[in-house]
Chains A and B, each alone.
Chain A
């Protein structure tokens, strides 16, 4: 009996190689990608690199995504093949094979496919591992040699996970055979030709889901709520896409069909009914394509733009090469600190190209009408008060002198009890109450043009309050501190310095300055409670870890999703072909010319396959404002770059999609044209 199984199985796979080869091949590629993600995840060398742990975390997340999609994907292609095979199985059954024999044959078949895919994928994975590692190190700017290695952990996990996935598909297949009658199996590949029902509720639900999802995406202003609402919006849009493809398309086509004067026209008649039929057969597959395409587009465009814009991000996050914030509880002479930093720079043989400093008092709290209360003040009055983080405003108090020096704003004299407000959103009132004292707003202005900071995006609002004198500044500080019970905000001295030199030189300098500042803050009588320093070049490596890791993951997953999309298109084309063959013949007999049929079928197929990519592009376009806001949180402020990356991703994706479509169309015409 075993010999028979093997014989049946091998003839089977041989005869259906146009289905089995892509199935095994795509399985192997999935295994290969998964193994590599795992191998990187378990790689020891990476842990020792700066930023390496961020990469690992990102890849750990990526692995879960791959598992989910591998499962969906392998299951989907399997069910496609099963549908084709039902007829054969029905014939075996009628010819006298018992169901347990058929189950045995399916078992042998799945084992062979699984072994081929897993073994093939693993060997390819191991061979290409060094290549992937080199790619990753290059992206992360890690400077280290890579040894060829096989990760036992990764091999083990890959084998286990994919063995489970293939077992589940096998159980599904055997269940299908067990539960069905031979007659049903015989006609298995012809089922589903019934007139589709109009599902009004589902259509409306789909519309609502999409509308709410889009509404969230467009209207969510706050980046933090964007982050949490993003997933809600994504789930809604995914559901809506499925519903609309499944029910909405049919409802729409039926509406067209009910319009007799439209429907009974040569061009519309065949197209509308053909589409109705196609949408019923393909709605799930098409929604899958649509959602996968959207994911590829979003992932690739965001990660690529962050990777390309990494330098900008670094500059947004760290405005200068050297950023030092020194906190104190009273106004302190900063000349000693300045000198320490300058000397350290001189010691590392670098020149200062730009220097800027300001004294500020940064208060966070809420604004009710024109009354601002700091968080500490609110907590001081009522320790149980809850402040919604989405309502927080930041208010930075600075003097007129510093406004001129560091913000480049020339503000004429401000009298006692007056302030100037500068910031976003536009301040509405004529007065401003700060720590119980009412000020007259003498002037309101937006931020200077080149003022571009992440902070604005994370808060409900951000204002500079410019006061005339140090005395006023000091009294505000003391008052807010008193209201906060002595635990108020501290006075902050910001020192920003740009230096010349190469990246390496700047990095070395940053190290020297950091040490000098640390030593200085330990000295008695420095006057500062704490000093924090950020050095742009020294942060760069961590940034590469995060953004490079995301980029790698984006491209990695993007190519995997693309492969899945391509395969779904391929299988769809073939199954469409088999279903259209018969219709094609009848139409010809009834009096449609070959040319007319070809034109009509081509346009239907084109519509069917363009629909998901068009829907995906719309999804991406609508998601744009929300993703932009989330990118702002990641300090990616270069919206132009993001637009460019998105448009480029869409264009490249469409190009690949169209090429794949044209190539697979040939298979389709071969199937349809065969007698």
Chain B
């Protein structure tokens, strides 16, 4: 069964006086199966961020539906939406979004505290996750005391600790150096191997080549998709760059 179904998603931004309309998403359709690792690629302005915001329930589409395990998240009202978000979704952002006034540990605990979990249960859940992410030693440090890669690992831990159905990652390697980026991508791969569904939006071919499927968005529509299948990372990398080159060429031949 598909964990996420996106059907006929449209988003039109209207300027304040209603004179200019910009169609960010024209007609988006795709499904994500449980345990999948999907990357979404596209140029700036292709509608990636809009799509992610809608999937994250931070924004509402003009029309269309988003079903998470069969439940339409577009229709959820404002009161329930944040509860829904913290119980079902995990987020990893480009700029980490850790709170400076919390230690890494408290940052990771934040969603659990919001769920009113007892403290000893929190500790139980924390241990395996931080061990896997290799940040057990720095839990009591503050975000400004650790490197970008470590911050991003803490952010991943924060996303994982609630056991979300889906992890949404927005350019997770965008602010990291290549070494830290590689190690984070390996981590994503290994988390995915454990059965975690991941949806990642990215610019980076390298990041996308780690995914099992890559969706390409152009002008607000899903333009193309590639499955990695049995292909290795290098092969995937070539496939993606070829597709991007084709997209950049204008794609007139394909229309």
Contacts and interface: CB of A to CB of B under 8 A. Distances in A.
A255 interface: no
Interface string B82-110: 11011001010100011111110010011
Contacts of B110: 269, 590
Contacts of A590: 86, 91, 97, 110-111, 114, 158
Given A193-B144, A264-B119, A596-B82, A589 B114 contact: no
Contact of A593 (B82, B109, B111, B122): B82
Contacts of A277: 101
Contact of B100 (A193, A269, A589, A594): A193
A266 B85 contact: no
Given A194-B142, A264-B109, A589 B102 contact: no
B177 interface: no
Interface in A234-277: 260-261, 263-266, 269-270, 273-274, 276-277
A265 B113 CA distance: 6
A262 to B, nearest CB: 9
Interface string B115-146: 01011001000000000000000000010100
B58 interface: yes
Given A193-B100, A193-B144, A273-B106, A591 B119 contact: no
B226 interface: no
B79 interface: yes
A274 B113 contact: no
Given A266-B116, A593-B82, A587 B93 contact: no
Contacts of B112: 264
Main secondary structure of the interface of A (DSSP, over half): helix
A289 to B, nearest CB: 22
A307 to B, nearest CB: 49
A143 interface: no
Given A195-B142, A273-B106, A592 B119 contact: no
Main secondary structure of the interface of B (DSSP, over half): helix
B101 A264 contact: no
Contacts of B106: 269, 273
A274 B83 CA distance: 21
Contact of B99 (A266, A583, A593): A583
B138 to A, nearest CB: 14
Nearest to B158: A590
Nearest to B110: A590
B99 A261 contact: no
A586 interface: yes
Contact of A261 (B79, B119, B142): B119
Interface of B: 56, 58, 78-79, 81-83, 85-86, 89, 91, 93, 97-103, 106, 109-114, 116, 118-119, 122, 142, 144, 158
10 closest pairs, A vs B, by CB?
A591-B86, A593-B82, A277-B101, A264-B119, A269-B113, A193-B100, A586-B97, A260-B119, A591-B85, A273-B101
30 contacts: A194-B142, A261-B118, A261-B119, A264-B122, A265-B113, A266-B114, A269-B113, A273-B99, A274-B101, A276-B101, A277-B101, A585-B97, A586-B97, A587-B99, A588-B58, A588-B82, A589-B56, A589-B93, A589-B97, A590-B86, A590-B97, A590-B158, A591-B82, A591-B86, A591-B89, A592-B114, A593-B79, A593-B83, A594-B82, A596-B82
